[in-house]
Amino acid sequence: MKTNGIVRKVDSLGRIVIPREYRKLHKISVGDPMEISCMDSGEIVLSKLDTTLTLSEIVRPALPHLGEATGCTVLAAGGGEWIAGCGERKGEFVGKALPASIAARIADRREFVSESEGLFVCPIAGDADVFGALCACGSPGCPAAIRAAAAAIGCALQKF
């Protein structure tokens, strides 16, 4: 029998450790949602789920309402980029890469103000992972609306 990978044994609870090299190569982090499928041939396939599309689908309809509630430009970040926006300044951000300094602070799961970008940033987080962030440009009229929306979206994505 020929193998093309690393061999691991199943433990008494049915777990298999994914080798560090594979986790690094495929950017698999603690808390990432994984799908387990069984093929007709008997192969078991393990795939990382991409929640960016789901985040985008959930966030886009909410942005105009958040913009109206806060009175400023509202942006959504996920997957290392600005994925959606609503308001005057959205063109400056949407479709561009998320600055590393902002991405690192979002991963800390705490809201903050980015002075350099003029943003109020609130992470969208679940129990085990951070899915992205909601941001308000300038002086937000209602950060509570951004916080509430980020919490609700985090709960919606937690189904994974």
For the purposes of burial, counting CB atoms within 10 Å of the CB of 72, is it exposed (0-12), middle (13-18) or buried (19 or more)? Answer: buried
Q: List Cα–Cα distances, 159 to 4, 30, 60, 101, 153, in angstroms.
A: 34, 16, 19, 29, 11
**Is 75:134 a contact under the CB 8 Å cutoff?**
yes
CATH fold of the domain at 8-49: Pemi-like Protein 1; Chain: D (2.10.260)
The two domains 8-49 and 52-157 share their CATH topology (first three levels equal): no
Q: What is the pLDDT of residue 74?
A: 94
Tens place of pLDDT per residue across the chain (160 aa): 466 788 899 999 999 999 999 988 888 888 788 899 999 999 999 998 877 668 888 999 999 999 988 888 999 999 899 999 999 999 999 999 999 999 999 999 999 988 888 889 999 998 878 999 999 987 656 788 899 999 999 988 876 5
**CATH for the 52-157 domain, from 3.30.1490.390, 1.20.200.10, 3.30.450.40, 3.40.640.10:** 3.30.450.40
pLDDT for 151 = 93
Place of tokens 């041939």: 41
Distance, in Å, from the CA atom of 21 to the CA atom of 25, rounded to the nearest integer, reads 6
